[in-house]
Chain A
């Protein structure tokens, strides 16, 4: 099956810092999503971004489908950004998403 690798696995930031999270995938996809899991376990969709660039407030994401990677940018980080960030992809003709192992982000005040 498709492989999804996320880096770094862990990240500690001071409040106000910027960060970039990376997701590499091993095959062509028609669906790529970024999720944030809060400390209570709830997963929230951040972006649907199979290609191109999107921005939502302090967060933005870019996917370069031809090179099989996606980046999630977090600017001016806040303590509420803490949690685990997952990248998930779906290949054409498949119904289910395959998840990476996540990046655990801790933002310290």
Chain B
């Protein structure tokens, strides 16, 4: 059974803290993604990675960075958390684009910044 695992389901952090959200996939996928989900806005792409140590900015990268040192692991970093980063964060992975390409999501990480 395919799996994308996000290490933390619920987190509460203080303003200014450095926050790490970890994601691991077991499907040997090349592509990994971080989205954030907010009510009425759907999912918005923060960053994605198409290979180890490779990354590209998505639509809302400000305030975030990412790290992909191993193929199976993709980390999202909030260098200095702010209250407007309170959201649900979803990690996903997929194989190379192609016909029938399917993306798999983790269960999400609910982050509250106080």
Q: Pick from B58, B88, B102: contact of A96, CB below 8 A.
A: B58
Question: Is the pair B101, A48 in contact by a Cβ cutoff of 8 Å?
Answer: yes
Question: Is the pair B97, A95 in contact by a Cβ cutoff of 8 Å?
Answer: yes
Please measure, in the bound complex, the distance between the C-alpha atom of A45 and the C-alpha atom of B93, giving whole angstroms.
13
Q: Pick from A31, A86, A95: contact of B43, CB below 8 A.
A: A86
Question: Is the pair A42, B103 in contact by a Cβ cutoff of 8 Å?
Answer: no
Answer whether residue A57 sits at the interface, using C-beta atoms and an 8 A cutoff.
Answer: no
Size band of the A side of the interface? Answer: 20 to 34
For A41, the chain B residues whose CB sits under 8 A away are 88, 90, 107-108, 110
Chain B positions near chain A (C-beta within 8 angstroms): 31, 33, 35, 40-45, 48, 50, 56, 58-59, 88, 90, 97, 100-105, 107-108, 110
Chain A positions near chain B (C-beta within 8 angstroms): 1, 4, 6, 9, 31, 33, 40-43, 45, 48, 86, 88, 90, 95-102
